[in-house]
Amino acid sequence: MAVCDELERRARARLDPRVFDYYAGGAGDERTLADNRRAWARLELRPVLGGGADRSPDTSLTLLGRRLELPVLLAPVAAQRLLDPGGEPASARAAARAGTVFCLSTRATADVAEVAEAAPDGARWFQLYVERERVRSRRALERLAELGYGAVVLTADLPVAGRRERELRGGPLPLPRGVEIVTHGEPPPRRPAGAPGRAAGGAPAASPAHKPVVGGWDPALTWRDVEWVAERSRLPVLVKGLLTGEDAALAVEHGAAGVVVSNHGGRQLDGALPTAVALPEVLAAVGGRVPVLVDGGLRTGADVARALALGAAATMIGRPYAWALASGGEDEVAALLRQLRSELSEAMSVSGAAAVTDLTPEVLAADR
């Protein structure tokens, strides 16, 4: 059983079923959710034998001017204190230990400053949903550079929330007492005593955690917003959630410093392209002008090797580290990253790759 599946099993045993379903679920019939994984598995690796395999290949890379030890970044995942009391700061520390990026979600349960304090030297990015009330996004963006964040990830694939049947069936998520969805821009609003999220009694407060599910962001996002975010944050902006060459080319023309091929882990449009299938078209349209990252269904180091062989600069994972966090907090997330690194290293050795840049389309079998 892949490590990620074992972690999922353990997380399921620990979590409230509604919370488990919120993290596990996808849109509609969950076809895209399943296809993401299958599409990576379909890309077969061609072992190169007798070429003097490198026993300790170098998994490091430079991304947006920063050296990382591993081309596996932690994708923005909402409300991590529903998984473990350590929440986002624990994930950020685990990423820093592994020498990779932690990308904090807009819909987090820890503020940008708390995460910066938890991993001051770690590579940290911030994911933004542009809010309808721009002033709220602006305040958040203005804090990032001074707190040492390295990039903003503008998520573009949520004009409306996907229809996630499991969430609709499960109803409001139970938010533990004292846990809130933060705004990143200002201190949390004061609520009267006894109001949800600050309840004095033992019962879990219902529903501010529903915020990340139903939105508050602007469905009328335009390419012009890429420029707006870059100006406000003074940081490179990556556009996340693209699946087509046309959109990727437009993102680059409007100043994106990178793009993330993503279908939101199958949580948005069911029936949308799996990311392994969308990636070559996006790479062709971008033509090497900016790094192209990919996420969705990557579960093993061999999957990461496949994505890099197609031409991705790096990958992101979502659910696997959510399950690790729920199973054993920071240490389990760090252990998952170590595992993925050693699996990638093995796949590189067998493919005759000494460095991540040696992973080229030749290590993949041709389409049949």
Ligand X SMILES: Cc1cc2nc3c(=O)[nH]c(=O)nc-3n(C[C@H](O)[C@H](O)[C@H](O)COP(=O)(O)O)c2cc1C
For ligand X, the binding residues (CB under 6 A) are 22-23, 36, 75-78, 105, 107, 127, 155, 212, 240, 262, 264-265, 267, 295-298, 317-319
Name the β-bridge partners of 125.
Answer: 103, 151
Taking the C-alpha atoms of residue 157 and residue 243, their distance in angstroms, rounded to an integer, is 9
Closer of 124 and 319 to ligand X (Cβ): 319
Taking the C-alpha atoms of residue 182 and residue 299, their distance in angstroms, rounded to an integer, is 29
How many residues does this entry show for the chain? 368
Strands 314-317 and 72-74: parallel
Closer of 77 and 257 to ligand X (Cβ): 77
Closer of 28 and 297 to ligand X (Cβ): 297
Closer of 125 and 228 to ligand X (Cβ): 125
Position with the least CB separation from ligand X:
318
Q: Is 355 helix (H, G, I), strand (E, B) or coil?
A: strand
Distance of closest approach, residue 36 Cβ to ligand X, in angstroms? 6
177, 89 contact by CB (below 8 A): no
Distance of closest approach, residue 242 Cβ to ligand X, in angstroms? 11
The answer for residues whose C-beta is within 8 angstroms of residue 340's C-beta and 6 or more apart is 70, 72, 300, 301, 304, 317
Taking the C-alpha atoms of residue 16 and residue 179, their distance in angstroms, rounded to an integer, is 16
Distance of closest approach, residue 6 Cβ to ligand X, in angstroms? 16
What backbone torsions phi and psi does residue 280 show, to the nearest 5 degrees? -60, -40
Catalytic annotation present for 184: no
Taking the C-alpha atoms of residue 296 and residue 293, their distance in angstroms, rounded to an integer, is 11
Distance of closest approach, residue 299 Cβ to ligand X, in angstroms? 8
Q: Exposed (0-12), middle (13-18) or buried (19+): which is 296, by Cβ within 10 Å?
A: buried
Strands 292-295 and 314-317: parallel
Taking the C-alpha atoms of residue 69 and residue 308, their distance in angstroms, rounded to an integer, is 15
Distance of closest approach, residue 291 Cβ to ligand X, in angstroms? 16
Which of 184, 210, 254, 264 is catalytic? The answer is 264
Closer of 164 and 232 to ligand X (Cβ): 164
Catalytic residue numbers read 264
